[in-house]
């Protein structure tokens, strides 16, 4: 299987200003489903770091008091203790919009101040487009002289409240405020990757490029500028320690680092016209799909992104699309809710117009019947190509905010039949198939050891099995919940339609604030990435 059939080539990446490698081979990638598993591994990693090691992280939101294990440490305790041991702790956290808009300006500022007081350096980064954010979730741990210990974590999980949930989906005891439909402790579904091998150096470079951007951190925010000056906060980051030697090959996984950076008036030096490799990478993989695209996404609400799926469905009559989304937006209210709904309604309609019988949209609940908020950003194409990242399937994530995703191709052919479901000679790969099966086993209440995977291997069988489980659970509810609750947690996602009037007023703010376009004008005119 030629890697370039699935991964972007150097020319296709379209951003020669960055020193990021086109892809890296020889890596070992491990999946952590849910924040509890990821946080536990993060504590283990950081606690083992010592004097001279380097710990870099980026985040959209960071809550200093978030407990990473039931008895701690908190995020601030873990990172501050590392800085106290001589670890070079450096962080880039989005400065955030105001807290009155239900964002996290105070929490991010407090996290930075606590770590900085203990010898680290965490910067509040506002180098974004108007109404934009830094949305990357990345931790890189380097060990100069011991590259075999180097590791990175990338995906959808922030170092903040609500993320420490597990497969039982009872929610994090430290929740964020969100729609009351999710209860007092919103159940939370998410995914993060642990990466070892040469790709760690590429992710290290992603952090270094942002850190060394000479543009002032707080440009265009006079209140923040005054507050920072009074507090003595720097306008730019200090020098970073030299990068260690890259880790050696250690596994069968090729990884392509995909990113989004918008085009903006003061360009990023490492992406002067922006970077849209997230969009380009997904588009290339989706066009190669023949049998099954499995997707988990927080939003799925851009019609232009949905058009990629619709085109693939029309071009390939055996292709099915399975999408797992949250049942409800994370916000509620007469003004906030409709713009959150209108985009997904339109995107699903675009896909279903291609063939409603091959588009299967589900949401998730726990065994108590409480909806689970799906925050994961996962895509698996034909059990060959897989991606996990911070980016959602919308125009904002593909053009406007900073995002980071890792696409994975496994050298290892999966021994389970069907061996080549797409029929292109690529053969199913162990990593991609295991990722899809791991997620479906949980959603369907299957044994985690894979002993009951017989009807989840072939794409057509998968569609039937998932649909049947959701239909059985839906029928149990319609019958008044008589008898034992059926196995499975998936429900058919079919929310109430917006009225014509509501859709009319909600569409402009959806396009302006919720799903803006960060592409250069020439790409907007041609509707390309």
Report pLDDT digits (tens) over 64-99: 999 999 999 999 999 999 999 999 999 999 987 554
Give the residue ranges of DSSP H helices in 385-429: 395
Q: Residue 32: beta bridge partners? A: 192
E strands, 207-316, where? 253-261, 275-276, 292-296
Go through the domains of the chain in sequence order and give each one's CATH number. Answer: 18-251 (3.30.870.10), 275-514 (3.30.870.10)
Q: Give residue 232's pLDDT.
A: 66
Q: How many CA atoms lie within 13 A of 462 on its CB side?
A: 28
Q: Return all residues near 432 (Cβ < 8 A) that are at least 6 apart.
A: 380, 381, 382, 383, 384, 385, 386, 408, 410
What does DSSP assign to residue 492? Answer: E
The pair phi, psi for residue 35, each rounded to 5°, is -65, -35
Q: Give residue 331's pLDDT.
A: 87
Q: Give residue 373's pLDDT.
A: 98
| Residues of the chain scoring pLDDT < 70 | 97-104, 219-226, 228-233, 235, 335
Q: Give residue 337's pLDDT.
A: 84
Q: Give residue 100's pLDDT.
A: 43
Q: Give residue 99's pLDDT.
A: 45
Tell me the pairing of strands 191-196 and 24-33.
Answer: antiparallel
């Amino acid at each position: 299987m030629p890697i370039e059939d699935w991964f972007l080539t150097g020319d296709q990446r379209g951003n020669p200003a960055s020193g990021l490698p086109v892809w890296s081979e020889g890596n070992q990638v491990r999946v952590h489903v849910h924040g509890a598993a990821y946080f536990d591994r993060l504590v283990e990693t950081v606690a083992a770091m010592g004097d001279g090691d380097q710990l870099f992280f980026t985040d959209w939101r960071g809550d200093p008091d978030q407990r990473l294990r039931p008895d701690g440490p908190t995020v601030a305790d873990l990172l501050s203790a590392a800085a106290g041991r001589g670890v070079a702790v450096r962080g880039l956290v989005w400065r955030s919009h105001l807290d009155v808009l239900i964002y996290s300006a105070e929490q991010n500022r407090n996290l930075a101040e606590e770590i900085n007081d203990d010898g680290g350096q965490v910067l509040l980064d506002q180098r974004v487009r108007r109404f934009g954010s830094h949305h990357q979730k990345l931790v890189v741990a380097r060990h100069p002289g011991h590259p075999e210990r180097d590791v990175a974590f990338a995906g959808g999980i922030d170092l903040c409240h609500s993320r420490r949930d597990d497969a039982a989906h009872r929610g994090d005891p430290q929740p964020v405020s969100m729609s009351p439909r999710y209860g007092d402790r919103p159940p939370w579904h998410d995914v993060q990757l642990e990466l070892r091998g040469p790709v760690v150096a590429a992710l290290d470079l992603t952090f270094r490029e942002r850190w060394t951007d000479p543009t002032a951190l707080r440009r265009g925010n006079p209140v923040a500028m005054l507050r920072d000056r009074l507090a003595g906060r720097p306008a730019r980051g200090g020098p970073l320690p030299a990068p260690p030697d890259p880790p050696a090959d250690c596994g069968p996984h090729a990884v392509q680092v995909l990113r989004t950076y918008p085009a903006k008036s003061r360009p990023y030096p490492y992406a002067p016209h922006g970077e849209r490799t997230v969009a380009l990478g997904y588009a290339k993989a989706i066009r190669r799909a023949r049998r099954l695209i499995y997707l988990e996404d927080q939003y799925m609400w851009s019609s232009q992104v949905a058009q990629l799926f619709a085109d693939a469905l029309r071009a390939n009559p055996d292709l099915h699309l399975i999408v797992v989304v949250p049942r409800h937006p994370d916000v509620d209210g007469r003004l906030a809710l409709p713009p959150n709904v209108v985009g997904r309604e339109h995107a699903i309609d675009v896909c279903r117009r291609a063939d409603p019988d091959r588009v299967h949209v589900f949401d998730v609940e726990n065994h108590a019947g409480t909806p689970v908020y799906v925050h994961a950003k996962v895509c698996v194409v034909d059990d060959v190509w897989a991606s996990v990242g911070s980016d959602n399937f919308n125009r904002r994530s593909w053009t406007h905010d900073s995002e980071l995703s890792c696409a994975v191709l496994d050298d290892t052919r999966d021994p389970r039949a069907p061996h080549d479901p797409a029929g292109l000679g690529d053969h199913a790969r162990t990593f991609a198939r295991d990722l899809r099966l791991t997620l479906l086993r949980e959603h369907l209440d299957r044994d985690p050891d894979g002993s009951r995977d017989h009807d989840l291997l072939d794409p057509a069988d998968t569609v039937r099995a998932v649909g049947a489980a959701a239909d059985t659970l839906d029928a149990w509810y319609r019958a008044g919940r008589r008898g034992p609750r059926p196995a499975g947690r998936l429900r058919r996602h079919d929310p109430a339609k917006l009225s014509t009037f509501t859709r009319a007023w909600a569409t402009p703010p959806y396009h302006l604030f919720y799903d803006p376009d960060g592409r250069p004008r020439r790409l907007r005119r041609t509707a390309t990435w």
